[in-house]
Structure 1
Amino acid sequence: MTIIIGAGLSGLLTAYRLKKEGVPFKILDARTRIGGRINTVYGTNETPVEMGATWFYAQHVHLLKLLEELNIEYFEQHMENTVFFQASSNSPIQTMEIPKQAPSYRISGGSSHLINTLFLELNKEDVFLNQSVKEIKFQNNSFQVFANDVFEGDSVVLAIPPKLWTNRINFDPELPKDLSSVAKETHTWMEDSIKIALTYKSPFWQEEKLPSALFSQAGPITEFYDHCNHERSKFALCGFTSVSFKQLTYSERKSRVIEQVKLVFGKKAADFIDYEECIWSDERYTFEESDRALLPHQNNGNPIFKNSLFENRLFISSSESASTYPGYMEGAVYSGNVTAEKVIGLGK
């Protein structure tokens, strides 16, 4: 029995691969939902907006191969060469031309469509939510995993960000000090992001031939993009706000966002259906305070995460551990595939 800690993309993919090979497992997750940092919210009119991982690129070959395997469609992010730009809070909103970028892509139906598709391939009774792991004991080639309940297995996969397992889980025997030290200084991608989205009855920016993207150095919104669905039958704008605005109350932040979109896109921007936001530093099962400021992607893909521990029965997974595109969905897929191969190899 393999105990997989974390029901995000890497954990669910590992489980999916194990099930196909007939290897028994249990997935534990501290949240009340699956998906980890992938979280598509479906509002009043079922418009999918991404509060977490959103975009990928042509070079993300492992993710693309998985989408093909699962028969999940994807589409190119709508992006024009003309964008709105604001240099500072004292600067007027202007339009500017940007160089043609390599296209980015989104998953049809939302990023959570990938998560839900993997989950539906599993047996629901093998996935346990509300299970915050506090201790892992290894003795005589066997593990005891202490969460709200106690689980036993002969291997364990850590499919959560390194900062979480090194700071929140007690290991007996202890983890190597060099591994713990690196894990404590491994940046968790998205942990300091604020995502926001506004949904609309119609794409007024398209109808009025306005740019669909905004880049601002003033805020609160720093990046904003057309976020209509694949069929362009559901309409939204989605992006990021400056992290500094997390100090405001929800009402203050929402008010500032609406004020900004009206200034940029005109009064029709205030006629939205839903306002959604996610402050990832408030997500206790994603964010862990660091002793000192970490650089984006710091220690992501560090070779030390390749090492198996406890008689080669404890495996480090998650997007941050991947040796290719760590921190992104591509990294999570790569990590899930590699970890599944290691676990399957135990029985050979």
Structure 2
Amino acid sequence: MVSPLFITTFTLLFVFHLNHTSTVRPKMHINIYMYINMCSSNILTNDCLPPLNDENDFLPPLNDENDFLPPLNDEIDFLPPLNDENDFIPPLNDENDYKKFAIKIPEKWKKKEWIKWMKQTEEDWLVFNTYIIKKKKKWLARKEIKWKNWIRGMEKKWMHYNPHIYREFKSNTMKKSQSWDDTQWARWIETEGKDFMEIEWEKWIYQNNKYINEWIMNQWLQWKNKKIMQWLMNSWKCEEDEYWETWERSTIWEKWFNLRKRRKWLRWHNRINKETDQWNKWVKSKEVIYTKEANNKLLEWINEKRNSFNNWKKSFIDKWIHKKQWIVWIREKQNLPCTI
């Protein structure tokens, strides 16, 4: 008959061997302590053996916390290789299945999808920009007609008495000019009257410039917002983002001690930040076109019209003085018919 001392000694050696050659889960530690106590009491039954739940109860020794995670060969989330885009689509029974599946899609595939989407977005932008250029050319063509009409309107306005001159320019010219001679009228149109024409020019240019710039920027904002929403609303991305945003609100224990999930979360977080940074840089590069380059072309048109306006203004003032147009102003103010 085997003595109790021999059984106890053998048991301790066996436990020592297990602790140095296998990974023992907390549950298994409890079973071993029970086993030692039972053997010390000379009770040796089948319950003395630690229960094996499955073949994984005996794992290689853990050197540090990272041993809880399988080795990383690359950024793929330990899924079988994908031959094409459709390989990863398994039968999904409900929304929870899809959420669980969305976070298991390999990082490499997600990064390729982003690159592919950005390339397509660049191509779509070229089409959009062509549309903007055509619209702007049509606008400038229509502006040529409006420009000629505006010049004719200016000439008609300044050849006749303006009853609203005080309201428009805060000028009391008609009151203080009652005793003016021809020289004083000529000096007025070459100074104050000329400044009033400049004010009207600046106002007309500002209104038109403001309109075209606002239209272009509104078109651009709508287009770029629609594009990024198309990316963000991808079904797999919505589920993935929702999953990790929920996980971020979980307990500290879950976030810091579930190393496998934390590593996946970090990959997701870094990828999102990188995508955001790339998108913002791309948007800024395009906005330069709509703020600086587009304005440069518009400025060319404005400068051209500025020269035309200056030429018209000089010619008009000379004609106004030559015809002594102030006489027309005075008679129209007095509601008398003009005889010259």
User: Normalised by the size of structure 2, how large is the TM-score?
Assistant: 0.17
User: If each structure's helix is expressed as a fraction of its own residues, which one has the higher value?
Assistant: 2
Normalising by structure 1, what TM-score? Answer: 0.16
Highest CA radius of gyration, 1 or 2? Answer: 2
